Amino acid sequence: MAENKAFKIGRLKLIDDFPIALHTSFVTKSTFPEIENDGPDITSMFQYYRQHGFVEFGSSTSTLNVLFPTFFERDILLCSSLIPLLQVESLCRDKRSNQALEHTVIIYRSDCFKYVI
pLDDT band at 2 (very low <50, low <70, confident <90, very high): low
pLDDT band at 113 (very low <50, low <70, confident <90, very high): confident
Q: Is the Cα dihedral 67, 71, 72, 74 positive or negative?
A: positive
First to last CA, the chain: 46
What local confidence, expressed as pLDDT, does residue 59 receive? 87
Name residue 107's amino acid: I
Share of the chain above pLDDT 70, in %: 97
What span, in angstroms and rounded, lies between the C-alpha atoms of 106 and 60?
15
Q: Answer for the pair 54, 94: CB distance below 8 angstroms, yes or no.
A: yes
What span, in angstroms and rounded, lies between the C-alpha atoms of 82 and 84?
6
| Average confidence score pLDDT of the chain | 92
Residue 13 pLDDT greater than 60, yes or no: yes
What span, in angstroms and rounded, lies between the C-alpha atoms of 97 and 68?
37
Q: What is the pLDDT of residues 22-71, one digit of tens each?
A: 999 999 999 999 999 998 899 899 999 999 999 999 988 899 999 999 99
Q: Is the Cα dihedral 77, 102, 54, 38 positive or negative?
A: positive
What local confidence, expressed as pLDDT, does residue 61 receive? 82
